[in-house]
Amino acid sequence: MPNAMIETRIRGRIEPFLDPIGRWLARLGITPMFLTVTGLVLAIVGAVLVAQAAVLAGGLVFLAGSALDGLDGTVARVTGTASRRGALIDSLADRVGETAMWGAIAFWLSDTPRLVMACIFCLAGALLTSYLRAKAEAVGADGSGGFIGRGERVVLMAVGLIFGIMEPVLWVLVAGVWLTVAQRFRVIWQRIED
């Protein structure tokens, strides 16, 4: 199954640059939990701004929060403090932040029912993508990969908001997340043994 670009291609290439940042943050006393919680708070603040039609500011704040949240794993790795509980909290924070933003975008676009439905389809596909990965791991299969992961969703969402091109981005995301759901389901189905 093809893997999301940020998940495999980009992340692997930028990790050597992220590790020094992670060590610097750790020396400042910044913990992975602090980064996770701060990233979530910023995602929610970004969502509130978007809901109030401050779309550019909301997109920038959401992107900043997502960038901070992306460093929590780096800090945990370089300090040797990675844990399953930390991963659980990080995963929950990711889902809450993304759900808040999809709700805010739907509220902002509430005058256009087709775009509200597109937001609902994006949110449902994003949640199912995460669910399929978790379900696969629960039965001992690899549920990662797919056409578009959380990193791509966050970047595209922020681009749509910041550059005022949310409608075309929404349709790209609808297609991308549901293609990913189908890809993950097919691969997991093949890997599961009855």
Question: What burial letters (b/e) apply to 10-26, b meaning 16+ CB within 10 Å?
Answer: ebeeeeeebeeebeebb
User: How many C-alpha atoms does 121 have within 13 Å on its Cβ side?
Assistant: 18
Tokens of 162: 């910041």
CA distances from 77 to 26, 38, 85, 86 (A): 11, 18, 14, 11
Q: Distance (Å, rounded) from C-alpha 49 to C-alpha 154? A: 16
Closest C-alpha to 95, from 133, 137, 145, 56: 133
Q: How far is CA 81 from CA 7, 19, 137, 190, in A?
A: 21, 14, 22, 35
State yes or no: is 111 an active-site residue.
no
Tell me which of 69, 72, 90, 94 is the catalytic residue.
Answer: 94
- Residue positions annotated with a catalytic role: 94
